[in-house]
Structure 1
Amino acid sequence: MSQPLTLTLAQRAPFTIRIFGGLFIVGLLILPFLALLPASHPLALSTWMLTLTGKILCYAVVAVALDLVWGYAGMLSLGHGIFFALGGYAMGMYLMRQAAGDGLPAFMSFLAWDELPWFWWGTEHFAWAMILVVLVPGLLALVFGYFAFRSKIKGVYFSIMTQALTFAGMLLFFRNETGFGGNNGFTGFTTLLGFSVTATSTRVALFLGTVILLLASLALGYALAKSKFGRVLTAVRDAENRLMFCGYDPRGFKLLVWTLSAVLCGLAGALYVPQVGIINPGEMSPTNSIEAAIWVALGGRGTLIGPVLGAGLVNGAKSFFTVAMPEYWQLFLGLIFILVTLFLPRGVIGLLRKGEK
């Protein structure tokens, strides 16, 4: 069996990467408390910057989730945006119910609806909303993955099917009659667990929750990578037919990591929505899922920490270019993908490792 492209961070990470990782974690834990400082303080952080960073960290969780299925199991998904959006919509339903009080959400009143659809029942309860955040993306991934892996669909065909899945979801949610706000989606949030969503303290709590989710995702990924399960996944990626010859059925391994990845995306979406203040079908756009693949490729697939770096670099650049030169952003993104493919096949992390040798 061929040697896996990458091992875990603890096994191969150079000293500079470990130092960077430690400083990165410490910085993330300190950052939200700077937003609590008075505006006149030289180290004060604006709520806007805190929100932007929290948004990028949510994307970083998606990048880690995608790396689990692409970097380790070799399944390139171009549809992870639907799992992210479904988690966001589940949280958005709760937030809309909080904003509406005893009445119907504003968009339903505008459409002259008389009652809530059945799938909105119980969404006024935070606990049920969190169950939906996990259950809906997880079940969709489980059903889709079961039939896809049972049919032995892989490679480019699997990528196309996942892209078709998220595109179909986007078209469905764009329709007003589906009960999810149509083109406008959900917005106008007011409170979360009784606290104002725009309050700085709430923003800090959401940011810390996002940091915890990201660290938990990385810890889970490293634990899986070091286990027998992780070794089987890399065998699926490198020589699936030989693995089957050895007596393993790869379908169960692929289905488990695929479903786990979808759940992580759903949780990231749930934290994304109250920080950004909106969720609409645009989050299911196939373009967003393709961008996620670029984050992983740029950072270094199969490394877990690399996709986090890639998500930060791309989205940081996106925040700059969409303000300074919005008409050139898509060209810049395409250029990144071409350059990474040609000159950084193992991403930025691979470049750092090569420089330390």
Structure 2
Amino acid sequence: MNTFYDRWLGGRQGAIGLLLLALLIFIILPLFLDIYRLNNVGKYLTYAFAAVSLVMLWGHAGILSLGQGIFFGVGGYCMAMYLKLEASDPASTARQTTPGIPDFMDWNQITQLPLFWEPFHSLPFTILAIFVVPAVLAYIVGAAMFKRRVGGVYFAIITQAIAAILTILVVGQQGYTGGINGITDLKTLHGWNINTDSAKYILYYINGVLLVGVILLCRYVLSSKLGRLLLAMRDKEDRVRFSGYDVSNFKIFVFSLSAIISAIGGAMFTLQVGFMSPTFVGIVPSIEMVILAAVGGRLSLIGAVYGALLVNYGKSAFSETFPALWLFLMGGLFIGVVMFFPNGLAGLYQTYLKPSVDRFLDKLTRKSSAVKPAALSDKKEAVE
């Protein structure tokens, strides 16, 4: 019990924070929001996966990636490929020149389904690909960089360049990827209509459960010896290396783990929103994901979720009125947080609210411990 409480839940403070987040996601928001707004919140929560992955990668391992959109997009495209194939059955595409293939392939005069699309007829393969493809891609990039001790700003620039290259590749190969329009008109998941209101509710809850599960997993990793080594590597990398540890392997592991977490968010985004396009793969969304982690607190897993909710809500509200100014506001927000609130919302909580919460919890603990002996004494007297 103590192992689960301390390592998975993060002790008393971690358990309370996770409980409050669960109440917000699973009870409060569904009670007070209609399905349209709740679906928007579900979309914001998919970005929270990327923010949580950056807390692991940037906050605890000291590796700043400006390309998390790569893995978010890979997970999203894997899911979109399965959904598109299911929506492109011969009956639904009978009017095409070549029935049975996605419409954008038919428009680009492709007459046969490409070989790399074939396995995505299978849902189990698709789910496996959402985990394996980003992990393999991250391993290749990580091994190429970290084994050569490339890090810091150079690694950040390289990941940004890879995000740009992948965006150009997706847009350029329109016949195979849907191009700039992406993969759209997604209808069913294994025969289940994902566009109904009831389906959106179910997907919202699945999204929330997966997010809580990812937070628990990350807490377990951070509370282990590996987590302590990641912090030591972030602060004194040379000392960890001189102690006999292979620092590059730790970096590759946490980079691959963060890639898988981001890909889960991308897959849920595709299900929640109903399409996937290269606009969620490139440099701009990757930088926005860094901002989400910075605003929430790059050392706090739960703070990253609140950062994702707050920033994305602000983006939706502000961009409706001043769409041209939103990017400037995002840049100013990032600079302001880094300069004045380096630990984000979680840092503000630690500084101003945590002392009051601790005093309140201590009072409750003392009262409960005082009530128990009194109750036992009354019971003893009654027996006598």
Partner SS, residue 279 of structure 1: coil
Offset from partner CA, 1:183-236 (integer Å, 9 cap, x none):
111001111121112111211221111111110111011111110000000011
Deviation at 1:313, TM superposition (A): 1.1
Cross-structure match for 1:10: 10
Distance 1:156 1:319 in 2: 31
Q: Distance in 1 between matches of 2:199 and 2:192?
A: 7
Amino acid at match of 2:110: W
Could you say which residue in structure 1 is the equivalent of 2:76? Answer: 88
3-state SS of 1:137 partner:
helix
Partners of 1:311 and 1:183 lie apart in 2 by 25
1:217 paired residue number: 214
Match of 2:263 in 1: 266
Structure 2 unmatched ranges of 5 or more: 1-6, 91-99, 356-384
Is structure 2 residue 118 aligned with structure 1 residue 130?
A: no
Query: What's the secondary structure of 2:177's corresponding residue?
Result: coil
User: Which of 152, 157, 160 is the equivalent residue of 2:154?
Assistant: 157
CA distance in 1, matches of 2:224, 2:77: 34
Of 132, 139, 142, the residue aligned with 1:145 is 142
Q: Deviations over 1:2-39 (max 9, x none)?
A: xxxxx9983694xxx865542320232236865xxxxx
Q: Is the 8 A contact 1:61 1:213 kept in 2?
A: no
CA distance in 1, matches of 2:121, 2:240: 48
Within the candidate set 37, 41, 44, 1:56 is matched to 44
Corresponding residue for 1:285? 282
- Distance in 1 separating the partners of 2:175 and 2:105: 11
Matching residue within 109, 112, 120 for 2:109: 112
Q: For 2:12 and 2:150, how far apart are their aligned partners in 1?
A: 32
Task: Give the partner amino acid of 2:55.
Answer: D
CA distance in 1, matches of 2:331, 2:63: 22
Q: Secondary structure at the match of 2:66?
A: coil
Gaps of at least 5 residues in structure 1 are 1-6, 35-42
* Residue 343 (structure 2) pairs with residue 346 (structure 1): yes
Shift of 1:47: 2.2
Q: Are 2:82 and 2:123, in contact at CA under 8 Å, matched by a contact in 1?
A: yes
Q: Secondary structure at the match of 1:187?
A: coil
Q: Partners in 2 of 1:62 and 1:198 — Cα distance?
A: 24
- What SS does structure 1 have at the residue aligned with 2:121? coil
Q: Which amino acid aligns with 2:187?
A: T
Question: In the aligned structure 1, how far is the partner of 2:286 from the partner of 2:322?
Answer: 23
Instruction: Please list, as runs of the form range in 1=range in 2, the aligned pairs for 1:233-252 lying within 5 A after superposition.
Output: 233-252=230-249
Partners of 1:294 and 1:300 in 2: how far apart?
Answer: 10
Identity %: 38
Q: Give the structure 1 partner of residue 27 of structure 2.
A: 30
What are the residue-to-residue correspondences of 1:171-210 with 2, within 5 Å? 171-177=168-174, 179-210=176-207
Inter-partner Cα distance in structure 2 for 1:185 and 1:148: 30
Q: Determine the structure 2 residue equivalent to 1:3.
A: none
Deviation at 1:93, TM superposition (A): 0.4
Q: Counterpart of 1:319?
A: 316
Would you say how many aligned residue pairs link Structure 1 and Structure 2? 339
Stretch moving more, 301-310 or 182-191: 301-310
User: What letter is aligned with 1:66?
Assistant: L
The alpha-carbon deviation at position 123 of structure 1 amounts to 1.2
> TM-score normalised to the size of structure 2?
0.84
Residue pair 2:114, 2:176 contacting (<8 A) in 1 also: yes
Q: For 2:141, give the aligned amino acid.
A: F
Give the match for residue 69 of structure 1. 57
- C-alpha RMSD of matched pairs (Å): 1.9
Aligned to 2:254: 257
SS at 2:195 equivalent: coil
Q: What residue identity is the alignment partner of 1:152?
A: R
Q: Which runs of 4+ in 1 moved over 3 A?
A: 7-13, 17-21, 31-34
The answer to whether the 8 Å contact 1:217/1:264 transfers is yes
Q: Name which one, 1 or 2, has greater alpha-carbon Rg.
A: 2
